[in-house]
Structure formats: structure tokens, C-alpha cells
A and B are shown apart, each in its own frame.
Chain A
Amino acid sequence: MREVHVDQIRNTVSRLCQEAACLLPEDVAGALQTARRREKSPVAVKVLDQIIDNASLAREEMLPLCQDTGTTVLFLDIGQDVHITGGDLRRALAEGVGAGYTEGYLRASIVDRPFSARTNTKDNTPPIVHTEIVPGDSVRIQVMPKGGGCENMSRFTIMLPAAGKQAITDFLLQAVDEAAGNPCPPIIAGVGIGGSAEHAMYMAKKALTRKIGDVNPDDESAAFEAELLDAVNGLGVGPQAVGGTQTALAVHVMTHPTHIASLPVAVNLQCHSARLKEAVL
């Protein structure tokens, strides 16, 4: 049984929060360059130039890429041969986020009492925590600061079992078209298909953690992703919805077996500032 102390987890989360806010992942930066080369609309090219320049400036000077430093979503893969020592894991995660946002001068965007007082918690806590127990003796921590503008454009439905690919395509296209500029295109679209209601949305978000360019291990899903990306880019929404050919950088699909009566479909959109940082302890 390998031991991992909560202090190490807390310090790692703090560092990852600060790095994630300022350093755009290389796969996303590369995809933005590709979009810039492909874009046909002159105004959209100017928009993409700003987005690319912004990422360079943020990296050079360690400035937050966006003022919305997000809801802090944490994905933890905890090896089943790990013993977490020294205290409460959930508290350590929250303390790591609080320290990271305070020390990093990141915006505190979380309010308590969501349907009434909406009081700011001042340090962006609590995070949203997803844990999976996996084989092995390490702990993998991914920090995804998720902006409010794109999260607000999430969609979920349960289709008839026979609805199939066309209905899923139409559902995604409607979501992206109606969201227009709100989720900050060019977006990454996460699509969760199957499972149950809550699992479909979890998959839609989890799909956003896959690097752009990493091929979906399921051949059928990989082919569907290519069709969906082409269809989304045919909408004409374009970067920041000024009109253009580059509405999405990628579409990522994740599936799970589902009930004979159901076809749950969830869409979770990620903005072009697709921040994600990870560490393995």
C-alpha cells in the first residue's frame, strides 16, 4: 500500500489551479493555429489573432487567460493501492483550490446559497470533485477551471431508443447554433451518449479532458466525431459568433451502455480557453 499525504495533494492542487489559469494546453494552442489557417472570414481571423496573442501574453507574463477563472472541476483517478494519509481528502482539495485562487490572484466566482443570497465564498471553493477508483498505486489529479459562459450552454435530453445518430447530430447542432457566441467559440464540444441521466453529463464533461488530436479509441465514435465536427463547422457561427468556418476545434464523444428503454444524450461545451492541467502523484 503506497501512502500519499494530503499535504502533497493540497500543494499540487494549488499549483495546478494557478498554472491552468495562465497556461493554455499545447494541443489547444495548436488547434487554434490550425483554425487560424483554415478560417475564411476576415473578421473571424482578427478574432483568432486576438485569441492566439492572448495565450502568448498570458504564458509569458503568467496572467490569467480569461477573467473567468471558472468553477474548479477536479478529476481524480485514485489507485486502489494508495492509502491517503494525514487528513480529509475533500478538505485538502478545497484548501488547495482556496490557496491557488488566493495566491494566484484568480477570480473568486463561486457563490453559496445559489437560489437566494448568492454570497461569494471568496476563494472559489468548494470545487466540484469527481473521483474514480482505478488499478495502480498513484493518484492522478486533473484541474479544469470551467467558465460560466460555456457551462451555461449545456444541454441534456433522453431520446427514444431508436433515435440514433441523426437525432444526436441535430441535438448538438441546435445546442451550438443557439448558444452562438455565449460559450466563446471556437469551442470543444463534449458529447456523452448512453449510461444514465447523470452519467451522460459526466461523460460529456470527462470527454473534454481528452487532448485534441488524440484519436477516440472506439472506431465508431471516432468516425462520428469527425462527422459532428464537420457539421458544427458548417453552421457558420464562427469564432465569437462573428460568422466563419471555424466554430469548433473538436468534438469529443464518450459512450456507455444504456437501458433498453433509453438513449440519454448530454452536451457540455468548452470555450476556446480550454484550460486543463494535471499531475500524477
Chain B
Amino acid sequence: MSEHQITLPLSDGVIESLRAGDYAFLTGPVLTARDAAHKRMVETLAKGDSLPIEIRGEVIYYVGPTPPKPGQIVGSAGPTTAARMDPFTVPLLKAGLKGAIGKGGRGPEVARALHEHRAVYFLAVGGAGALLSRHIKAVEVVAYEDLGTEAMRRMQLDGFPVVVSNDVHGGDALSLGKAQWRRPG
């Protein structure tokens, strides 16, 4: 298990250096989107229209935060289940997406597409939304404001802890981890 301090956006060199199961701290800008925003983005791309915000080179964090209390930058903001974004992820990778942050594993089609498009999927700890919010230094709604908690936001991360789940070499931390710790028989 190596540890990486990563500055976003992800460079090709950094992407190639990551291995499934590595621990990393992300600093820099990400976009956020979850179910409803993904559906809209993919419908837009399918019509041949351009997205309200450029996603080439970006990392998308699957999150819908709680409302901030007065004086807070953001409420609790942990990852949601990535598998629900699977049906929408391949078109976004084709459009240049370089990374995603969520919880839980990805289906085989997304795993193949991550490899093909040289992009990485990171796991953040689900249910650690209070702690993770301390690693978010700025938030601004940038698209689909009508979606409320599901609106797309620009977040500035600072030392945000993640595990590399799917690397570009075909490695998958969940399969490797389970194989290592599964009791025989």
C-alpha cells in the first residue's frame, strides 16, 4: 500500500502511477454529480449538445451534501454508491472524464472503459460525511441548480482521503482485497 499526495487535475503521469489499493490524498478542484445530474448529462450528450460545464480532464465526486448550516462551507459530504452511475459513466469517459470518487465497486463495463480511456476510480469512505466535509474548502453550484442537493457543484478538495479502487492497469482493489482476506472453504 503506497500513499500519494495528488494535486488535481489528474495528470497522465499521476494516473499511470496509481495502483489499486493505494491510499491517496486529493487536493484541488472536482465537480460533483449524482443520479439526476448524470441522467441529464448523458441525455445531453446523446442529443449531440454540449454540457453546461466542460468535463474533459475532470474528476467527478458522487455526492449530494446536507445543506450547510449558517457559516459552514458545506454540510456533510460523503460519497454515494458509484454503481448507480455505471449506466451513465462510459459516455462521460468518452467525453474526457479522467476520474471519479464514490463508494462501492464498478461493473465490468465501467472497469473496461476506465482502462480504455485511462481514467481512475477512487473510493472514499461512505458514512464519513462529517469528517470528509473538513477536506472541502470551497463549494459553488455550477450547473443544474434546480436539482437541489443533486445540483452539480465545483468543490475544492484539500487532502481528501481516498483509496485507489480501479487503476488504469486493470487492477481492482475490491476484488484484490476480497481475494486476500476471504476465508478458504
Which of A's residues lie within 8 Å of B, judged by CB? 40-44, 46-47, 50-51, 53-54, 57-58, 61, 63-69, 105-109, 118, 120, 147-149, 152, 180-182, 184, 234-238, 240-245, 271-273
Any A CB within 8 A of the CB of B23 = yes
CB distance A180 to B129 under 8 Å? no
With the chains together, A236 CA to B134 CA distance in Å?
30
| B105 close to A64 (CB less than 8 A) | no
Q: Which of B80, B103, B126 has the most CB of A within 10 A?
A: B126
From known contacts A50-B131, A54-B127, infer whether A66 and B78 are also in contact, taking CB-CB under 8 Å: yes
B interface residue numbers (CB < 8 A to A): 1, 21, 23, 36, 63-69, 75-78, 80-81, 83, 103-105, 123, 125-134, 148-149, 161, 163, 173-174, 176-183
Pairs across A and B, CB under 8 Å, 27 listed: A43-B163, A44-B177, A51-B125, A54-B129, A57-B130, A57-B134, A58-B130, A64-B129, A66-B76, A66-B78, A66-B128, A67-B64, A105-B67, A107-B65, A107-B66, A181-B104, A181-B174, A184-B127, A236-B180, A236-B182, A238-B177, A238-B178, A242-B163, A243-B177, A243-B180, A244-B181, A245-B181
Q: Whose C-beta in chain A lies nearest to the C-beta of B150?
A: A120
In the bound complex, do residue A241 and residue B178 qualify as a contact, i.e. CB atoms below 8 Å apart? yes
B81-A152 in contact (CB<8A): yes
Known contacts A58-B130, A234-B182; decide if A64 and B83 are in contact (CB<8 Å). no
Q: In the complex, are the beta carbons of B67 and A243 less than 8 A apart?
A: no
The reply to whether B131 and A57 form a contact with Cβ atoms under 8 Å apart is: yes
A241 to B126, CA, bound (A): 11
Q: Tell me whether B177 and A236 are in contact (CB under 8 A).
A: yes
Chain B residues with CB under 8 Å of A120's CB are 148
Assess whether A106 is in contact with B66, with CB atoms less than 8 Å apart: yes
**Are A40 and B181 also in contact (CB < 8 A) when A50-B128, A181-B103 are?**
yes
B81 touches A236 (CB 8 A): no
Cα–Cα, bound, A241→B124 (Å): 11
Inter-subunit contact B104/A67 (CB<8 Å): no
How far, in whole Å, are A234 and B181 apart by their CA atoms in the complex? Answer: 8
